Amino acid sequence: MKTDVNTQTTGDTMEKLEPAPYTQRYVDAAGVRLHYLDYGTEGLPPMLCVHGGGAHAHWYDYIAPGFTPDYHVRAIDLQGHGDSDWVDPPAYTYDDFALNVDAMVRQLDLRDFVLVGHSMGGAVSLVYAAKYPERVKTLIIVDTTVNLSPEIAAASSPTAHGVTSSIATSTEHAK
């Protein structure tokens, strides 16, 4: 049987993969215009997706459909990426990007949200969650190299914030 690359097999049925519909929106972060995609589903728990270094918010166009039934999914373009402003002088550190995330989170008043970061976005998400643990309910980092100083590792520890549940790997979580 021949299938095209946009076809997914589910049991005995074939479904066409489609990008999620979205609305383009902007927030201001200290004078920097940040673009984000709002995949909708107002009223559901919020999920914010952060792209990798060579990417942009549209990285999540084909991922969002898997989450929109259960979450209000949004994906940010970090400064200097996608349709967000570049900054001069250049400021493109994980801390700078975490401030982008914080500006968006505060302007949209996101609380107890799922934060998903891919590659560089995973490192940015980890920095954000370490600085603002009271806002993030769940942190998911995908395909990210994590090389933390002992201070950041200690601050990022779930027990440092009164969390007593364990952290599961994807394999453990699936059981």
Going by C-alpha positions, the residue among 25, 160, 43, 146 that lies closest to residue 82 is 25
- pLDDT-derived band at 17 (thresholds 50, 70, 90) equals confident
User: Which region holds residue 46: left if phi is over 0, alpha if psi is between -120 and 50, else beta?
Assistant: beta
**What is the model's pLDDT at position 118?**
98
Q: What are the tens digits of pLDDT across the range 119-148? A: 999 999 999 999 999 999 999 999 998 776
Q: What are the tens digits of pLDDT across the range 73-92? A: 999 999 999 999 999 999 99
Alpha-helical (H) ranges within the chain are 94-107, 120-131, 150-156, 170-174
Contacts of 92 (CB under 8 A, 6+ apart): 79, 80
**Angle 120-131/94-107 helices, nearest 10 degrees?**
60
Task: Give the fold, CATH level 3, of 29-157.
Answer: Rossmann fold (3.40.50)
Q: Which of 62-66, 101-105, 113-117, 160-164 has the lowest mean pLDDT?
A: 160-164
